[in-house]
Copies of this chain bind each other. A is one copy, B any other.
Amino acid sequence: MSLGLRRGIASMASLKKASKVVCIGRNYADHVKELNNQRPKQPFFFLKPASSILAPGEGPVIRPKGVDLHYEIELALIMGKQVKNLEASDEKGAMDAIESYALSIDMTARNAQNEAKKKGLPWDISKGFDTFLPISEIIPKSAIPDPHNVEIYLKVNDKTQQEDSTELMLFRIPRILSDISKVMTLEKGDIVITGTPKGVGPVVPGDVMTAGIKVDGKELPESKIEVK
C-alpha cells in the first residue's frame, strides 16, 4: 500500500541507482577566483559515478593515500522525468523536471585534479573515488520554494568554511539543465549537482564536516549532512 504510494518517488536506494550524476564546475564567481580559474562562458560539466555516493550515516569519507582532499558543498537536483534538448528559456520545463532536492558534498582529490588539468587528462579519477559524494536525505520539492534563494553552508569542526546563497550561481538551473540535456539525455532519478560557492578547502581524517541548507534563515532538517 505504502509501496504503491511511493512508487516512482526517489529514495536513498534509488539515488544510489542513479544512471548518472552530472556535476557543474565553476558556477560561483568567487569560487572561480579562489582556484585561479577562468570564468566559463558557458556551463561545463563532468560525471561522478554512482559508486561514489555516501548516504547519510554511511561515513566516513575515505581519503585515498597521498590525496589532498577538498570539500565542495553543492545543491543537488533529483530529476523526476526524462529531459532531452530542454531550451534554456523554458523555466517551467526545468522546474517541472525536478522531483526533489538534496544537499551534497563534491569531494575532490585536489592535487590529482590539478595534475589532470595541467596534463589535459580527465578529471574523473580525482572526482570519482568511493565515498566522494556524501549526500543528505531527500528534500521534498515543497521545502524549497525557490532553489535560487537558499543558503548552503559547510562547517569543518564547527568552523564555517562555506556559506552562500544559491542566488550567486553564474548559470541558473534552467540554463544548466538545458546545456546538459543537449549533450546527454537526463533520466528520471539522475542527480545534477550545481556547483560550489567560495570557501573550499582541505579536510583530514578525524575532521567532521557538517553541512545544511537554510530557507529564509531556517534550517531544513533533511538537508543536514554530518560526516567524518
Chain copies in complex: 2
Q: A122-B44, A124-B46 are in contact. Are A130 and B51 (CB under 8 A)?
A: no
Residues 20 to 55 of chain A near chain B (Cβ within 8 Å): 20, 22, 25, 38, 44-47, 49-52
A19 to B16, alpha carbons, bound, how many Å?
9
Residues 167 to 198 of chain A near chain B (Cβ within 8 Å): 183-187
The residue on B at minimum CB distance from A48 is: B47
Determine if B19 and A51 form an interchain contact, defined as CB atoms under 8 angstroms apart: yes
Determine if A128 and B19 form an interchain contact, defined as CB atoms under 8 angstroms apart: no
Residues in B with CB closer than 8 Å to A186 are 51
Determine if B47 and A47 form an interchain contact, defined as CB atoms under 8 angstroms apart: yes
The residue on B at minimum CB distance from A114 is: B120
Q: A120-B117, A122-B123 are in contact. Are A187 and B46 (CB under 8 A)?
A: no
A159 at the interface (CB under 8 A from B): no
Determine if A185 and B130 form an interchain contact, defined as CB atoms under 8 angstroms apart: yes
Determine if B51 and A184 form an interchain contact, defined as CB atoms under 8 angstroms apart: yes
Greatest chain B CB density within 10 A among A50, A120, A129 is at A120
A95 at the interface (CB under 8 A from B): no
Q: A183-B128, A184-B128 are in contact. Are A51 and B20 (CB under 8 A)?
A: yes
A7 at the interface (CB under 8 A from B): no
Determine if A20 and B44 form an interchain contact, defined as CB atoms under 8 angstroms apart: no
Determine if B50 and A130 form an interchain contact, defined as CB atoms under 8 angstroms apart: no
Q: A17-B19, A19-B17, A128-B47 are in contact. Are A184 and B120 (CB under 8 A)?
A: no
Residues in B with CB closer than 8 Å to A64 are 183
A116 at the interface (CB under 8 A from B): yes
- Offer 13 A-B interface pairs, CB within 8 angstroms, sorted by A: A19-B49, A19-B51, A20-B50, A45-B124, A46-B122, A47-B128, A51-B186, A116-B120, A118-B120, A120-B120, A123-B124, A129-B183, A130-B183
Interface residues of A (CB under 8 A from B): 17, 19-20, 22, 25, 38, 44-47, 49-52, 64, 84, 116-125, 128-130, 183-187
